[in-house]
Amino acid sequence: MNLKFHKYQGTGNDFVMIDNREFVFDKNNLDLVARLCNRKFGIGADGLILIENHDSVDFDMIYFNADGTKSFCGNGSRCAVAFAKYLNIIESKTTFNAIDGIHEATINEDVVELKMGNVEQVEIGENHFFIHTGSPHYIEYKGDIQNLDIVLEAHKVRYNSRFREQGTNVNYVQKKSDVLEVRTYERGVEDETLSCGTGATAVALTGALKYNMNSPVLIKVQGGELTIKFNQLSDQSFNDIWLIGKGESVYSGEIEI
């Protein structure tokens, strides 16, 4: 059969989007998810997103990493909101369900403001931070991240005894003036991606802790820029957190499955 799909990207984080309100896609077929995300033998993407009906909110977003595992994805959620608007499910405001619960969002043209979950605990180590912003993030500040062999360095964290089984995303950060530059290695993709929304959010919060940066914080990722707004309650907790950036359609097509 031929499967209709759309391709969206948010600051270079790209996703296969499927309207699954009529269950045209078998969400249990994880091999198919991985094949469609494969950049050599499929469409190619960092993840795959299904939009389905939900009883109490506008839609259900089901997100898969490129390897078929599930998680929350901030950039994917922003793209899902843009896709839901394209499908005429929503207009300018929405509430939707994701793996970590209900989220709010607004969309103005192609700029999506996504409300993230509250952060109630931050692990502050001697040389790192660890924060869960819907997905787990290990964060380390360095003097130079552009010349960093990120896969080599990230593997030392991603596959150590603590994180080997459940996995973690790994972020390396460099502060330049009032901007935090970030490179992210994502679990599930198991490689560097051009952007990670939950990672950018986590990094912005560490900027508040490490450098007393005030909201909003501008994050520069490999694929563009993201803005994070938040309310800092203490050294351990934040609420009213918003991830802001563009969610854009790239192309649509059909693929035989």
Query: Rounded to an integer, what distance in angstroms lies between the CA atom of residue 227 and that of residue 246?
Result: 10
The continuous run of DSSP H or E covering 233 comes out as: none
Q: 160: buried, middle or exposed (CB in 10 Å: 19+, 13-18, 0-12)?
A: exposed
Residue with tokens 């998810």: 33
How far apart are the C-alpha atoms of 70 and 62, rounded to whole Å? 8
Written as six digits, the tokens of 117 are: 């979950």
Active site residue 196: yes
| Cα separation, 103 vs 97, whole angstroms | 6
Please check whether residue 189 is in contact with residue 46, taking contact to mean a CB–CB distance below 8 angstroms: yes
> Among 51, 73, 213, 217, which one carries the catalytic annotation?
73
Query: Which candidate in 194, 196, 204, 213 is catalytic?
Result: 196
Asked whether 253 and 17 are in contact (CB, 8 A), the reply is no
CB 101 within 8 A of CB 113: no
Residue type, 190: E
Is 79 within 8 Å of 17 (Cβ atoms)?
Answer: yes
Give the catalytic positions in this structure.
73, 196
